[in-house]
Amino acid sequence: MKSFWQRVLIVCGVASILTLTLISVDYYAQPIIAKNAVLNLKKGVLRANAISYTDKNVEQVFRSHIQEVKIGDHTFYRTKDQAVSFTVTGPGLWAPIEAVVSLEPNLTTIKGLAVLKQAETPGLGSRVADPEFLARFQGKSVTPRIEIVKPGKASGKNQVDGISGATMTSTAFQGILNSEIKKTADIYRGGKP
């Protein structure tokens, strides 16, 4: 019986040490993770506005080209040519998709998109983050709504060719863009500085 309790104490001791180690690593990693998330957002805003940067000069380029505008709880990113960018998030097929949308000053035409996070099927739905796919949105009208159609079928000012084999991810991305762009652009219009 004595050896049983010795084993229990050893297991509890090892578990306590491992738990404390994990808590310590998490505590020290959180600021690094937060800093990288901000940097990723800045890169996304620059990509969505076709502003060139390198990993070494992201901060400098962002400061010289982008102005942050707060309206209520929302943060907008305005360029020198008055394009307006903001983040959108919504459910993808497997996990949330987060992107930066940049609209021309008229707030009805897409200037560019950049996907910040996605966890869709590699080689299929993950192509929603490909620059080639995102370039298809440039110049498209968000009114009455964006339509992602079968590949090769886009003909309207608001239609974009979808991704072959990724219909559900394309549909989810379309839903995110349509609901979030309208709602967020209305907030910007209402509180425009």
| Residue 19, in any domain of the structure | no
Q: Can you give the pLDDT at residue 3?
A: 84
**What one-letter code names the amino acid at 145?**
R
Say how many domains are in the chain. 1
pTM: 0.82
| Residue 95, in any domain of the structure | yes
| Residue 39, in any domain of the structure | no
| Residue 30, in any domain of the structure | no
| Residue 55, in any domain of the structure | no
| Residue 83, in any domain of the structure | yes
| Residue 34, in any domain of the structure | no
Per-residue exposure over 106-138, b if at least 16 CB sit within 10 Å of its own CB, e if not? ebebbbbbbbbebebeeebbbbbbeeebbebbb
| Residue 169, in any domain of the structure | yes
Helix and strand numbers, DSSP H then E, in the chain: 4, 7
Q: Are 124 and 169 in contact (CB under 8 A)?
A: yes
Supply the range of the domain harboring residue 163: 67-191
Q: What is the pLDDT of residues 103-134, one digit of tens each?
A: 999 999 999 999 999 988 888 888 899 999 99
Q: Can you give the pLDDT at residue 24?
A: 85
